[in-house]
């Protein structure tokens, strides 16, 4: 699978979600604040294959940024998230932007646009990760681990990684935590602590029916929550088996 480099100088987009999806699909991602100097410097040193920028910059700065990116990175694609009028969108396109999306476009819309620009060699993997992302997010919320926990994002990244690469389950502390820490710009110890806190708090409020669904009948008898490794292994394994079952049904249908 080909790996691409993405520059995300944007805040109005759900940047963390887009960052997670791209990073977990094996892409290289660099985030910057949407300020001209930082963007230009990133263009020169990072040389992205594609960039997503929104109109927190002025129209003039956005046009300058498009020109700069095209100059620094041959063949680079640029997506602009535009608040402005149709005439401003036309200016971006005539300057060299490859796509102009609404300012409130979500991560899924941006990914779809990137797929069309960069081709199926990346697109298939990102589409798979996007579907897996939604499945894991749903499972965590069902288990009472909601986005207000800092461990929610950590667990989501860990589960996506382990579902895609099951052999890593034996190396959670030495390999998985450091890898996820790098994605989120945190220390491995923070990842472990955030996950432990989220699991512990959610276990007290999740219904017995949901516990049984994921962990079996014996789980209702447990006085304490599962360890990080137990929780991660069991949930990842369940989702992986569900995916295999669905693929088998689709193949036979």
Query: What is the structure's pLDDT at 1?
Result: 43
Residue 252 has pLDDT above 80, yes or no: no
Query: What integer pLDDT is reported at residue 125 of this predicted model?
Result: 54
* Of 68, 106, 61, the residue nearest 84 (C-alpha): 61
In angstroms, the CA 186 to CA 59 distance is 34
Higher pLDDT, 25 or 76: 76
What mean pLDDT is predicted for residues 165-182? Answer: 85
Backbone angles phi, psi at 82, to 5 degrees: -105, 130
The pLDDT score that the predictor gives to residue 244 is 80
Does the pLDDT at position 127 exceed 60?
Answer: no
Cα distance between residue 176 and residue 220, in whole Å: 29
Amino acid 123: pLDDT: 47
Residues 49-69 as b or e (16 or more Cβ within 10 Å = b): bbbbbbbbbebebbbbbbebb
Average pLDDT score, the chain: 82
- pLDDT at residue 236, rounded to an integer: 92
The pLDDT value recorded for residue 14 is: 46
- 100 has a pLDDT exceeding 60: yes
Among 91-100, 147-156, 159-168, the range scoring the smallest mean pLDDT is 159-168
Question: Quick check: pTM over 0.85?
Answer: no
User: How many CA atoms does the CB half-sphere of 107 hold within 13 Å?
Assistant: 18
Domains annotated for the chain, with CATH where assigned, are 5-122 (3.40.50.2300), 143-252 (1.10.10.10)
Q: What is the mean pLDDT of residues 68-78?
A: 86
Q: Mind listing the pLDDT tens digit for each residue in 129-148?
A: 667 878 898 999 999 999 88
Q: CB neighbours of 83 closer than 8 A, spacing ≥ 6?
A: 54, 55, 103
Instruction: For residue 81, give the nearest of 12, 32, 14 by alpha carbon.
Output: 12
Q: Report whether pLDDT(11) > 80.
A: no
Decide the pairing of beta strands 5-8 and 50-54. parallel
User: What tens digit of pLDDT does each residue of 183-219 get?
Assistant: 787 899 999 999 999 999 999 999 999 999 999 988 8
Helices (H) and strands (E) in the chain, counts: 11, 5
Q: Mean pLDDT throughout 47-66?
A: 82
* Pick from 231, 245, 215, 237: nearest CA to 166: 237
**Is residue 179 scored above 80 in pLDDT?**
yes
pLDDT surpassing 60 at residue 57: yes
3-state helix, strand, coil in the chain (%, to 5): 65, 10, 25
């Amino acid at each position: 699978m080909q790996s691409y480099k993405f520059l995300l100088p944007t805040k109005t987009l759900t940047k963390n979600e887009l960052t997670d999806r791209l990073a977990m699909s094996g892409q290289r991602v660099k985030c910057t604040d949407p300020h001209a100097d930082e963007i230009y410097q990133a263009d020169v040193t990072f040389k992205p294959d594609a960039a997503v920028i929104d109109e927190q910059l002025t129209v003039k700065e956005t046009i300058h940024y498009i020109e700069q990116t095209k100059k620094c990175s041959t063949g680079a694609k640029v997506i602009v998230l535009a608040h402005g009028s149709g005439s401003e969108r036309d200016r971006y396109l005539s300057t060299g932007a490859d796509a102009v999306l609404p300012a409130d476009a979500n991560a899924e819309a941006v990914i779809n646009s990137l797929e069309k620009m960069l081709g199926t060699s990346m697109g298939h993997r990102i589409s798979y990760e996007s579907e897996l992302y939604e499945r894991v997010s749903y499972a965590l919320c069902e288990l009472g681990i909601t986005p207000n926990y800092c461990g929610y994002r950590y667990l989501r990244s860990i589960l996506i990684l382990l579902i895609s690469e099951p052999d890593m389950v034996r190396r959670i502390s030495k390999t998985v935590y450091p890898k996820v820490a790098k994605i989120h710009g945190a220390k491995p110890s923070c990842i472990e602590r955030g996950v432990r806190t989220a699991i512990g708090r959610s276990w007290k409020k999740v219904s017995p029916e949901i516990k049984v669904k994921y962990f079996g009948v014996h789980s209702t008898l447990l006085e304490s929550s599962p360890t990080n490794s137990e929780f991660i292994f069991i949930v990842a394994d369940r989702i992986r088996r569900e995916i295999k079952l669905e693929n088998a049904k689709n193949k036979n249908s």
